[in-house]
Amino acid sequence: MEKNSEIDWENLGFNYIKTDYRYISVWKDGKWDDGKLVTDNMLTISEASTALHYGQQVFEGLKAYRRKDGKIQLFRPDENAKRMNNSNSRLLMPEVPVEKFIDACMQVVKANEHFVPPYGTGATLYLRPFIIGVGDNIGVKPASEYIFSVFCIPVGPYFKGGMKPVNFMIADYDRAAPKGTGAAKVGGNYAASLHPHEIAVKKGFADCIYLDPSTHSKIEEVGAANFFGITSKNEFITPVSESILPSITKYSLMHIAKEYLGMNVFERDVYVNKLDEFIEAGACGTAAVVTPIGGIEFNGILHIFYSEKKVGPITKKLYDTLCGIQFGDIKAPKGWIFEVK
């Protein structure tokens, strides 16, 4: 492995860093080209691109992990590929074959191998695949051309110095409509979330929680992460709704809760006025893996779950098991790990 002495692995955050190579493939005349690695991190696109005007764009997020033996692995990239295609189909964008998506990720990791943080730092290489509608196209209709790209940045562990619970408030806004694009990983949902996020941060919360957009009585998303709660009856509960973005971390935790920790797992409604059914709660997603929820403010009252200071034991066990699998220290379920060769 080529050394990278310019990076302070211990103090990485979640910031853009220009790495050496990114993958670019272009869709034109009904098909994708072979794709290639390029060094230029700038895109030149038509001013009339649908991605710029009508939000015709999708993205993904996943990580490459350095194992103890120095090898590098991806965690469930096939699931990201499938989810991106679900997002693509919602926005009338062309499908990317699963093999092409995984190959693009592998190429980017290999070409930027010296940016993959060392084992033991908790840091990882974050991959950002995306597709944008481009070409000369001012009418409201799908683009004539598309760019599929994957770039990467080394990122630090979300919680420096260990996991800590954080507090959330219930948002006064929706991030998605009941039958809108909530289940698609598209920039438009994020545009809608910037304002409520800023309000929550100004009030001293980590982020806001979105309720279901039809009745505003059930928890849907915790910022840009999924919600889970643990009951005193050894249950792992997570909300179900067609406007929730299906988190791969969430489905992985459901499997771990059941198969590794022997819990009962349910996807069902989580009512914001019945939070006392949970003894622990958390948010989950690729970036932070698991964020313990200290408390949730609703109607002016802060509901505390396990503690505002300490991480609950089951939340900790879920986190440790998933991280152990992702870094190759714990045996993974079949098909979850893709070694980068």
Ligand X SMILES: *Cc1c(COP(=O)(O)O)cnc(C)c1O
Residue 310 among the catalytic residues: no
229 or 285, CB closer to ligand X?
A: 285
88 binds ligand X (CB under 6 A): no
Inter-CA distances, 184 with 67, 85, 187, 210, 264, Å? 31, 9, 9, 16, 28
User: Among 63, 185, 218, 250, which one carries the catalytic annotation?
Assistant: 185
What's the min distance (Å) between Cβ of 181 and ligand X? Answer: 10
Among 19, 124, 249, 291, binds ligand X (CB under 6 A): 249
Q: Is 185 in the site for ligand X (CB under 6 A)?
A: yes
C-alpha–C-alpha distance, residues 63 and 155, integer Å = 9
314 contacts 229 by C-beta, under 8 angstroms: no
CB-based burial label for 9 (10 Å; 0-12, 13-18, 19+): middle
87 binds ligand X (CB under 6 A): no
Q: Which of 87, 226, 238, 241 binds ligand X (CB under 6 A)?
A: 226
Residues 228, 279: Cα–Cα separation, whole Å: 11
Backbone angles phi, psi at 90, to 5 degrees: -65, -30
Does residue 184 belong to the site contacting ligand X (CB under 6 A)?
A: no
Nearest to 245, CA basis, from 286, 205, 208: 286
61 part of the interface to ligand X, by CB under 6 A: yes
One residue of 73, 149, 243, 286 binding ligand X per CB under 6 A: 286
Is 245 near ligand X (CB under 6 A)? yes
Does 285 bind ligand X (CB under 6 A)? Our answer is: yes
What tokens appear for 250 in the block? 């969430």
For 46-144, where are the E strands, in sequence order?
57-59, 62-66, 72-75, 124-134
Please tell me the count of residues contacting ligand X according to CB under 6 A. 13
| Cα 151 to the center of its chain, rounded Å | 15
Of 136-144, 201-209, 223-231, 305-313: span binding ligand X (CB under 6 A): 223-231
Residue 76, both tokens: 């469930």
Residue 224 contacts ligand X per CB under 6 A: yes
Give me the least distance between CB of 258 and ligand X, in Å please: 17
Site string for ligand X, 124-163 (x = CB under 6 A): ----------------------------------------
Residue ranges in contact with ligand X by CB under 6 A:
61, 185, 221, 224-226, 245, 247-250, 285-286
Q: What residues act catalytically?
A: 185
